[in-house]
Amino acid sequence: MMEEDMENGRSYQERPRTFSTVRSKSSIPLVFRLLMRINPRALIILSLLVFSGVLYVGASTSPIVVFVFCICTLSLFFSLYLTKWVLTKDEGPPEMSEISDAIRDGAEGFFRTQYGTISKMACILAFVILGIYLFRTSTPQQEASGLGRATSAYITVASFLLGALCSGIAGFVGMWVSVRANVRVSSAARRSAREALQIAVRAGGFSAIVVVCMAVFGVAILYSTFYVWLGVDSPGSMKVTDLPLLLVGYGFGASFVALFAQLGGGIYTKAADVGADLVGKVEQGIPEDDPRNPAVIADLVGDNVGDCAARGADLFESIAAEIISAMILGGTMAQRCKIEDPSGFILFPLVVHSFDLVVSSVGILSIRGTRDSGLVSPIEDPMAIMQKGYSVTIMLAVLTFGVSTRWLLYTEQAPSAWLNFAMCGLVGIITAYAFVWISKYYTDYKHEPVRLLALSSSTGHGTNIIAGVSLGMESTALPVLVISVAIISAYWLGQTSGLVDESGDPTGGLFGTAVATMGMLSTAGYVLTMDMFGPIADNAGGIVEMSQQPESVREITDVLDAVGNTTKATTKGFAIGSAALASFLLFSAYMDEVASFSQLPFKEVDIAVPEIFVGGLLGSMLIFLFSAWACSAVGKTAQEVVNEVRRQFIERPGIMDYKEKPDYGRCVAIVASASLREMIRPGALAIISPMAVGVIFRILGHSTGQPLLGAKVVASMLMFATVAGILMALFLNTAGGAWDNAKKYIETGALGGKGSESHKAAVTGDTVGDPFKDTAGPSLHVLIKMLATITLVMAPIFL
């Protein structure tokens, strides 16, 4: 039958076909399955009751919290509107839907297995945290408020588990929308590039709004619940300025899940991508996402679990960690300055991110579709359209940030302090914009660096690799200069705000840096939208190629895909910058926590002390070893994929002539099992290393009469790991993104186009860069923040 079809000029693509199912169980989380079984009316009543309870708790805490809850609730309704709008779009012809179903099955199946593994590890770690907190000493503040060790332990564990759960849900939301939007973008590309762009942006916007909303909602609910339950600020109870320290477990839980999600998803997506490219493009000479490639479905699945699910958890963790660290510093400063009502300084981060939801929603809606067909014009290319939306978001963020500072940070003790802090926020917003621009300059093929990298491909594979490595190294300079100027500027503005402690010393420096970090993340919703746009566009291009759509449609998705690579690179740069500032804040909070527990001053770390210098070396080494193991995991898994794809081409020679179908499910199974296995080693290294180093040097310190040695060595380790990690992540992300877009630039017809020797060299560079930009690089900035949160949570065992 198949041979007869071939003789008549028909390939199996022209017949109804099904793609192998790669899961056997429903992958919808249990919570959602239970909710789906409830009667709709009963669910509405239950939701109203829950919302009323939340509002009551918020009203019992502060009117500011009520404002935050209302904004978050409205944002959730807006996300539902975006979902409905995207899902009403058509899925195109049956062949597109079948490919999309296979991708969705693979992504949801892997998500279920991966997060099942992560949840088991989180439960084990929760018991470890419980044991540590049950046997640790209490701080004088906790003893004075009557907060016992058992209560503190259960609060920290509950916060940790809630943070882990919310981070997992954030990842699920990111993946859920991407596997449903990809086929709709593919279908829209048959009509208009602008319509396809709008669908991809709004799908990414849904995920972004939900992720930011959950981060803000989660912290706000925890804060208000603890406020009411513990009777904060009542006689003999905890002070409100000490309350944010109880939320640290939430940030640790979020970063724990984000790290393993990023590792597992990154290994999955890049192992499949490398395997598909090496055999398909280089050896067999077939196009990217060609249906004859046995690894193509695994590659498309990887875009969703690696870029969408993992990035959702990552940004959730970034926002949660930044909010908590800023709340801690705000409370500390308010206490030192004896501010009568410190709630404004503590709750300021929640209000900033509530306004982030509003301004990002406006930015998303500013991107509208048109009925023009064909490619987007050179004047209004997709990147320019998205940049316009970002500019709208930035301008609104500046206005709302000024309103927030005047509302919450005005105090009679320093009437002009709010203006200084507003300037700190402006510094952060400018820093975010600078990071986006720098990343775009080094990764967009419209600019010179990527074009020079593409030109180096014309002289061979080796010169392409050399040029890519040098580009990545050079790209670290400008971001570091920007971060340095931002930290110093914000610190100086905070110090000169007029806020002083009892002895008359300025105390606003660190909080000024915290405000700058909030300014940088004040457009996080729109930035995450741009990031989610990338893998959705990439998947859409794969569906178009596999369903054998006309070349004009593929040209549209190629343009969107190239822009998606750039937006992914810019958001990774944005995430690194925010990680640097957030880690600086958490480092300061760690030093305050150690001083509180030990009742000894801890204001500086002297690296001239041999043990402390060794801690710095270990921190730097951790970054390189972690990166090596992450890249090695991709390499090992990719080897298995390469061998499998080669085997299928040898044993099924009819694949190349469309006479036999590849076994897509086999490659999916290989990368799924291998990625889950390989993510354990680097993840365990990140968790165990700081605890082991702290305990070892704690023992050494007690034997030599240095009670704070363990805490100081861990501080040095954290400091050096942050510096080395920022530089390494910048190098890996930028080099990988530049290699990818150099290849896409050649595929537009430059330097010989597809199939030329330059293209083959560029494919090699892209293959080398894959684990850089989508596995090791993104995992590093999660690692940096997780090291900061784990040291803060585990501080008692270092003393």
Parse the chain into domains and list their residue ranges.
Answer: 39-368+380-797
User: In the structure encoding, which two tokens stand for residue 567, read together?
Assistant: 């937006």
pLDDT at residue 2 in the model? 35
Give the helix, strand, coil percentages of the chain, each rounded to 5: 80, 0, 20
Task: Look at 120 and 142; give whichever has higher pLDDT.
Answer: 120
CA dihedral over 317, 319, 323, 325, signed as positive or negative: positive
* Lowest-pLDDT range of 30-39, 58-67, 160-169: 30-39
How large is the average pLDDT for residues 41-46? 72
Query: What percent of the chain is predicted at pLDDT more than 90?
Result: 18
pLDDT band per the 50, 70, 90 thresholds, residue 376:
very low
pLDDT at 236 over 60: yes
User: What angle is formed at CA 621 by the lines to CA 618 and CA 624, rounded to 5 degrees?
Assistant: 160
Report pLDDT for 613: 94
Sign of the Cα pseudo-torsion (133, 138, 139, 143, in order): positive
Q: Which helix (H) or strand (E) holds 788?
A: helix 777-793
Q: At residue 140, does pLDDT exceed 80?
A: no
What average pLDDT does the chain have? Answer: 83
At 474, is the pLDDT very low, low, confident or very high (cuts 50, 70, 90)?
A: very high
pLDDT, residue 298, reads: 84
Distance from C-alpha of 318 to C-alpha of 320, rounded to nearest angstrom: 6
> CB count, 10 Å around CB of 634?
28
Q: What is the pLDDT of residue 472?
A: 92
pLDDT at 676: 84
Rg (CA), the chain: 26
pLDDT of residue 26 exceeding 70: no
Residue 351 has pLDDT above 70, yes or no: yes
The Cα-based distances of 536 to 305, 309, 790 in angstroms read 11, 12, 33
Q: Which helix (H) or strand (E) holds 767?
A: helix 757-771
What confidence category does residue 3 fall into, taking pLDDT thresholds of 50, 70 and 90? very low
The stretch 107-115 carries a mean pLDDT of 82
- In this predicted structure, the answer to whether residue 74 has a pLDDT above a threshold of 70 is yes
Non-local (6+) Cβ contacts of 752 within 8 A are 458, 746, 758, 759
Contact 274, 638 (CB under 8 A): yes
Confidence of residue 545 (pLDDT cuts 50, 70, 90): confident
Torsion of CA 75, 81, 87, 89, to 10 degrees: -130
Pairwise CA distance, residues 8 & 136, whole Å: 78
Strand partners, 506: 500
* C-alpha atoms less than 13 angstroms from C-alpha of 531 in its C-beta half-sphere: 34
| pLDDT the model gives residue 594 | 83
Q: How many CB atoms lie within 10 A of CB 395?
A: 14
Confirm if 259 and 786 have CB atoms less than 8 A apart. Answer: yes
Predicted local confidence at residue 349, as pLDDT = 92
Q: Which residues pair with 414 in a beta bridge?
A: 411
Give the bridge partners for 153, in sequence order.
Answer: none
Which tens digits make up the pLDDT trace of 479-504? Answer: 999 989 999 999 999 999 888 888 88
On whether the CB atoms of residues 111 and 209 are closer than 8 A, the answer is no
- Tokens standing for 763? 């494919």
* CB-neighbour burial class of residue 340 (10 A; exposed 0-12, middle 13-18, buried 19+): exposed
Are residues 517 and 578 in contact, defined by beta-carbon separation less than 8 angstroms?
A: yes
Mean pLDDT, residues 308-333: 84
What pLDDT score was predicted for residue 143? 62
User: What pLDDT, in 10s, does the model give residues 766-796?
Assistant: 888 888 888 888 888 888 888 888 888 887 7
Positive or negative, the Cα torsion across 603, 606, 612, 617?
Answer: positive
Of 11-20, 303-312, 421-430, 466-475, least confident by mean pLDDT is 11-20
For position 139, what pLDDT does the model report? 64
Beta carbons within 8 Å of 150's beta carbon, 6+ residues apart:
134
Instruction: Answer with the residue of higher pLDDT: 545 or 18.
Output: 545
The answer to whether the beta carbons of residues 372 and 194 sit under 8 Å apart is yes
pLDDT on residue 37: 67
Mean pLDDT on 196-216: 89
Does residue 4 carry a pLDDT above 50? Answer: no
Tell me: the pLDDT tens digits for 501-534? 888 888 888 889 889 988 988 888 898 888 888 8
pLDDT, residue 10, reads: 38
pLDDT in tens, 666-719: 888 888 888 888 888 888 888 899 989 999 999 998 888 888 888 899 999 999
Q: What is the mean pLDDT of residues 309-318?
A: 80
Distance, in Å, from the CA atom of 71 to the CA atom of 82, rounded to the nearest integer, reads 16
CA angle centred on 308, ends 480 and 300, rounded to 5°? 115
- The CA-based angle 645-646-647, given to 5 degrees, is 90
* Secondary element (H or E) of residue 34: helix 30-37
Q: What is the pLDDT of residues 382-402, one digit of tens each?
A: 888 888 888 899 999 999 999
pLDDT of residue 14: 42
